[in-house]
Structures are given as structure tokens and as C-alpha cells.
Amino acid sequence: MKHQSHRIRRSVAALAVTLAGGASALGLAATAAHAATTATTYTFTTLDNQKDPTFNQLLGINSHNVIAGYFGSGADAAHPNKGYLLSPPYGQGNYTDENFPGSAQTQVTAIDNKGNTAGFWVSKAGTNRGFVQWNGVFESFTDPKAPVVQGSVTQLLGINNLGVAVGFYNDAAGHSHAFEVNQATGVFTAIKIPGAVSAQATGINNLGDIVGFGTDAAGTTTGWLLHAGQLSGYQFPGGSGTTALGINDHDEIVGFYADGQGIQHGFTLKAPLGPVSHWQKIDDPHGVGTTTVNGVNNLGDLVGFYSVGTIFHGMLATPAVTMTRHLTLSPMPQGTGSFGHDSSGNLTVRLSMFGLTPGSAHAVKLLASNGSVLATFTTLTANGVGQADATLDSSYTGSIPAGSRLVIDDGSTNAVRPIAAASSLAGSTFTLTAVEYSFRGVNLGTPQGRATVVYNPGAQTLTITVNASGLTQGLHAAHVHLGSCQSQGPVQYMLMDLSANGKGQIVNETRVITNVTTPIPPSGWYLNLHQGDSNQILKNGQPTIAFRPLLCSNIS
């Protein structure tokens, strides 16, 4: 039956569960004949709503990565349960309050892929009622078998795209009874767990498979899965008190259990119906021994919580997959320019460039087709991130002959060694192209190259393979930097120097960086190959002319 607009859902952390051993608890059907442990590497993120940073629990996540949860322990009037949804990119501004109208407390425990939610709410008198928010409309649900008394408990803990929710109610003796309810019809259907004194249904997927847990008369808690009318029970290998709390459309089950020392850990269980099921212990590195996994989406992303002392933190764990980036290495520096005249008729040039040595100073000249100097401009100076944007003056009043070119030297005082030039000077603007000259003054052309960057989360390695040409023979320093080719920053990871052969080529040189604990970010890293080797590019901690970037690519 349907009920008017009040509902509530309760937190898993508040469950009165006795953790005990006994894989045969409840007398459920046998699990898959073969079980194995597996190891997916996860990246863990702590997500706390700062409206109450002392207590956050994340309880559900959908395939659009929208998370359902709540803040506040509910222990006193200062910390009531208050529900919310959290959308990517998970900043404080991405929390949206969701509380049942008129409720004293609310927990949002589940969210489907359409954005509909379920949970429970608590009245001022302490009565718990389930709720569904469907297409933006709240509706309250109370199991008709629940005692009609102040403080009675009905909670919804899961919902699927079809509007079928699952949960439990407590009888007069305080024992829990699992059910499912159709939000459209309001029809409740009991879920019977043989041998269970108390049972809760905690999650349902879009195939109608339901998970939960039950406790028998001996106090043994066992997780269960109801699939196509077949009920199966589960205990983590070597553990006890296995409590199943969520399921996705691949029948991956999540929850928590106690190990042989009684320490709590989260878990995932893949392929629970076999032929080989795969268990994995889950511990947030900040909360080893206090982790609960409450929800899982079809991508395998996990949500839950952990505690540090009396503080509960929301947890997001995403599978850390091998990341591969194929890079085109662009020659440096790059930029554009345009000519003009000052009030005296002298030729000026405005240059906008990036990829210069930070803090470097460069002579700029206009050369005739025979190489003679037509105009010398004032010095071009790069800022601390390798950028320059300036108008340079000269004393030249003549025209720009056909075949002329603009040249930017490397900044050294003992040789003229261009690093960029432009020969097509007609029109309002022109493009500067990077060039590389050997120390003997031989034009090697424009450098070019490619690189592959692979992050392996299991091995915690970053493997970089480089191919390049048009370089000065010898060793070249290379680094992964923070920032971008357009705005250079400090070194994140150092590579062993790369070697260019007698033809100026780097051929399939691979460098492996170890102890890389974070994946490649969407932006903020770049790969830089320098003019000189590692012993030449810095002096007294400052870039030298040999620091000059030759090839660069943002890693994204």
C-alpha cells in the first residue's frame, strides 16, 4: 500500500549486527563451488560534506557517478542525519541537499541510473519510514506489517531503474524482516530467508537480483543473494559476519566482514554464482580495519566510509586501470609575430612565444636572404614559465626584402645559434618555427618526435618510450613536469638522460619510473626533452641555456 509523504532510511553503521563465524549459517544454498581471491587496484578518494566534516557516509552510486549519502551521526540534536547527492567533480559546490519534507532526519541510501533515489526518514517522534523520490516527487512507505507504534522502523536501502525498492521493517521484538516494494503500486512482497531470526534486503539491481544479510539464532551473520528465485549464502573466505550491502548489474556484491582477529574490512565479490567467484578485501588506506563498502555501480566504482577515531569519512574507490597516452612531441619554442613601426618609422616586431628557457634572454635579428643582418631588435626575455610577449624595437627604417627571415638566437654570448626562425614574413602575422643547430653551427632542421606513456597501477610504474629526430648528438635530459608546455613548472619525475645517436635520433629509448602512486591526471603533467644533459641544464638551481626545451607534449 502507498503512504503519504514521509519516509526514512537507516544507516548501515547503526545496524545491530553480531559478527560471528559459520559459513553454513542460515542453511542457505551452497555458493559457487570454486572461490578465489583477486586483486583490482583502486584509487581512493575521501569525500566529506563540510556541513558536518565529523560524519559522512556514502551509500550508493549510479552509472553517471552521482553518489547518494548523508552527513551527521544522528547522535544528538547538533548532528542530525541530513541526506545529499554528490555529483562529479565532487567539490563542495557539487553537494545537493535531499531531505524528506518535514523530516527530523534523512538518509539517502540508494540512487538509480535515472537519478531517482530511495532511503528513509525519521520523524520528530523517532519513527523510521522508507521513502522514494521518483521523478522529483517524494513518497513515504511503511510496511503494513510494521507495528503501528511510535518509534517503529521501516527503511528502504536499495532501488533499481524499474522503481522496485528493497529494505526491511522491525517487528515488535526488534527483529528485522526483508521485503521489496514497487513504488508505482505500493505493493510489498516479503523476502523469506530460511533460518534467519533477522534479515535485511540491502540492494537490488536492474535484473531484479537482490542482496542482503541475515542473522540466525546463534548470532551468525551471513550475506545472501536472491537470483531467479534461488537463494545463496556467502561468507568471506576465512572471515565471518559477512554483510552484503550492494549489488550492480554484473552481480558484483559489496559489503563488509570481520577477519580472524575480529577486524572489519570492506569486500567485493565478483561472479558470486561461479563458476569461479572472486573475493577481494577492501581497505581505504586511511581507514584500514574500519572500512565499509556500501554501494557499487556498473563501472565497478565503490562508495562507502571509514572511520578515524570518532570521525567518519565518505569513501570513493575507483578501479585503477592501466593508462596509456600516445604523445606527439612538438618542437619548442613556438609562437607568432608581427611587424610594425614606431613613431619615428623604425621597424618593430611583436612576439608572443612559449617554450623558451624560463628567465632566458634572446637576441632577435632580421636577416637578408644572404644572411647579412638587416635589423637587430631589443632583447626578448622569457618569464619564469618560459613565456614571452613583447614588442621589440630596432633602428632599421628600411623595407623587408623578399627572402628575409627573422631569427631568435639561443641566448648564449659566445655563438650565434638560432632556436626559432620565420621565413614567410608577408602578411599581418607570421609563425615562428623551432630549429636546432649543432654546436658547430650545422642546421639540423626542426626536431620532431613521439612518445608513449603507460601508467601501471599494480606495479606503480610510469613507463615512457621516446622516438625523436633532428637533435644534437649526445645526451638530453628529460622530465615529467607539473604545468604545461605553454606554462612550464617544476619537475614531477626525472628520467635517465636520453641519447641521440650520430644521426640525431633517439630510437625506442624506454625509461621506467617506479613508486608512482597516482594515475595520470586529466591535465597538469607534461613531458619535456631538453637541449643539454642533466649536468648542464641547471646552475645554482637556475636554468641555463642548455635547459632549452627541444620537444614537449602535454600528457592528457
Q: Which of 411, 438, 397, 398 is nearest to 353 (CA)?
A: 411
Give tens-digit pLDDT for 73-96: 999 999 999 999 999 999 999 999
Among 16-30, 402-416, 505-519, 532-546, the least confident range: 16-30
* Domain extent for 501: 446-555
Instruction: Provide the sign of the torsion angle of the four alpha carbons 252, 9, 180, 216, taken in this order.
Output: positive
How large is the average pLDDT for residues 25-41?
57
Q: Is the pTM of this model over 0.85?
A: no
Q: What is the CATH number of the domain that holds 506?
A: 2.60.40.200
pLDDT class of 36 with cuts at 50, 70, 90: low
Please, which pLDDT band fits residue 428 given cuts at 50, 70 and 90?
A: confident
135 and 96 within one domain: yes
Are 312 and 391 in a shared domain? no
- 98 with 141, same domain: the answer is yes
Closest-CA residue to 448 (of 344, 311, 550, 326): 550
Is there a domain that residue 195 lies in?
A: yes
In a domain, 327, yes or no: no
Decide if 51 is inside a domain. yes
- Determine the pLDDT at residue 440: 75
pLDDT tens per residue, range 288-335: 999 999 999 999 999 999 999 999 999 999 998 889 999 999 999 999
DSSP E strand stretches across 191-345: 198-204, 210-215, 221-227, 230-234, 240-247, 253-258, 264-270, 276-282, 292-296, 302-308, 311-319, 323-331, 334-341
Per-residue pLDDT tens over the stretch 521-537: 999 999 999 999 999 99
pLDDT of residue 4: 30
> Do 284 and 344 belong together in one domain?
no
Position 32 scores a pLDDT of 43
- Confidence band (pLDDT; 50, 70, 90) for 11? very low
pLDDT tens by residue, 167-190: 999 999 999 999 999 999 999 999
Identify residue 211 by its one-letter amino acid code.
V
Least confident residue range of 3-12, 107-116, 236-245? 3-12
pLDDT of residue 458: 79
Q: Is the pLDDT of residue 8 over 80?
A: no
Q: Are residues 377 and 272 in the same domain?
A: no
Count how many domains the chain has.
Answer: 3
Q: Return the pLDDT at 27.
A: 56
- The pLDDT of residue 69 is 98
Picking from 287, 320, 353, the residue at the C-terminal end of a domain is 320
pLDDT at 31 over 70: no
161 & 29 share domain? yes
DSSP one-letter string for 362-427? EEEEEE-TTS-EEEEEEEEE--TTS-EEEEEE-S--S---TT-EEEEE-S-SS---EEEEE----S
Q: How would you list the strands of the sheet with 276-282, edge to edge? A: 34-37, 276-282, 264-270, 253-258, 240-247
Average pLDDT over residues 380-390: 97
Average pLDDT rounded to a whole number, residues 243-258: 98
Mean pLDDT over residues 465-476, rounded?
Answer: 96
pLDDT tens digit string along 12-29? 333 222 222 233 346 554
Reported as a pLDDT band with limits 50, 70 and 90, residue 378 is very high
- 5 assigned to some structural domain: no
pLDDT digits 0-9 by tens, 125-137: 999 999 999 999 9
Please give the average per-residue pLDDT across 274-296, as a whole number.
96
Judged on CB neighbours under 10 Å (0-12, 13-18, 19+), 355 is: buried
32 domain residue, yes or no:
yes
- Among residues 294, 320, 346, the one where a domain terminates is 320
Is the pLDDT reported for residue 364 higher than 80? yes
